[in-house]
Structure 1
Amino acid sequence: MTQITTPDAPRALGPYSQGRCIGNLLFTAGQIGLDPATLTLPREPEAQIRQVFANLRAIVTAAGGDTGSILKLTVYLTDLDHWPLVNSVMESEFTAPYPARTAVGVAALPLGALVEVEAVAQISTF
């Protein structure tokens, strides 16, 4: 297994890796909308969602892939009313065929985040 680390995504705030590759599969840690430089969380839902996908993109890129490499997303939302924003941001971040995805409503997320997303990607370099 290979550990994936990049300064372009928030550093791990606990005992976990930003991502791990086994074979040609990358599994990312769940990403919230933290800015990697300041470790601050925007207040606005859309800004958080955009930063989440920027963080995921950074980890996938560090592993040698791109957003087209992402096979599956799991989205955790504290308010399912933000689901249309997730769809809107995904349309700007991805092209068809879109990743498979699951959305789950949750009571709370780390640091008061509104959304967290984890990904599974196929990376050809591993």
Structure 2
Amino acid sequence: MSKQIVYTEEAPAALGPYSQAVKINVASTTNMLFVSGQIALELASKGDIQAETQQVMENIGAILKEARMDYTNIVKSSIFVKDMNNFAAINEVYGRFFPSEPPARETVEVARLPKDVNVEISVIAIQ
């Protein structure tokens, strides 16, 4: 098994001791990418949950691109929200990135997220 740290300047740098993503080659033809939770720090205080979610998904897209993958490679998503009342608005934006065969997913309301953002999304992708 080989492990490669994936980093792009097109998404926010890690805020702590973690990587934007880690790509693992588990077999000669299979790569797995574990993308750390992405946030939209610059939009969190503006109160537009759809703009915040859009930026989070674009951050994920930039990391996928750096790893030579795209949204179709995502097999699992985890969405953490500050307020489950925003679920429909988040889901609307999130769904645009998966027009067919969306990944498995869970959405969890949490008490607080880093930097007091409203949504954080992490994904696992396979190639």
Q: Which residue number in structure 1 is paired with residue 28 of structure 2? A: none
Offset, 1:94: 1.6
In structure 2, the residue corresponding to 1:103 is in which secondary structure?
strand
- Is the 2:53–2:94 contact (alpha carbons within 8 Å) kept by the matching residues of 1? no
Matched, 1:96 2:100: yes
Q: Which residue number in structure 1 is paired with residue 36 of structure 2? A: 29
Structure 1 or 2: more strand by fraction:
2
Equivalent of residue 63 in structure 1, options 49, 64, 67? 67
Which of these two proteins has the greater Rg computed from alpha carbons?
2
Which consecutive segments of 4 or more residues in structure 1 shift more than 3 A?
none
In structure 2, the residue corresponding to 1:33 is in which secondary structure?
coil
Offset, 1:95: 1.9
In structure 2, the residue corresponding to 1:30 is in which secondary structure?
strand
Q: Which residue number in structure 2 is paired with residue 48 of structure 1? A: 52
Matched, 1:2 2:4: yes
- Is the 2:36–2:122 contact (alpha carbons within 8 Å) kept by the matching residues of 1? yes
Identity %: 37
Q: Distance in 2 between matches of 1:14 and 1:61?
A: 22
1:31-59 deviation digits (Å, cap 9, x = unpaired): 0113xxxxx23421111111110011111
Q: Distance in 1 between matches of 2:79 and 2:33?
A: 17
Q: With the length of structure 1 as denominator, give the TM-score of the two structures.
A: 0.89
Q: Which residue number in structure 1 is paired with residue 20 of structure 2? A: 18
Q: With the length of structure 2 as denominator, give the TM-score of the two structures.
A: 0.89
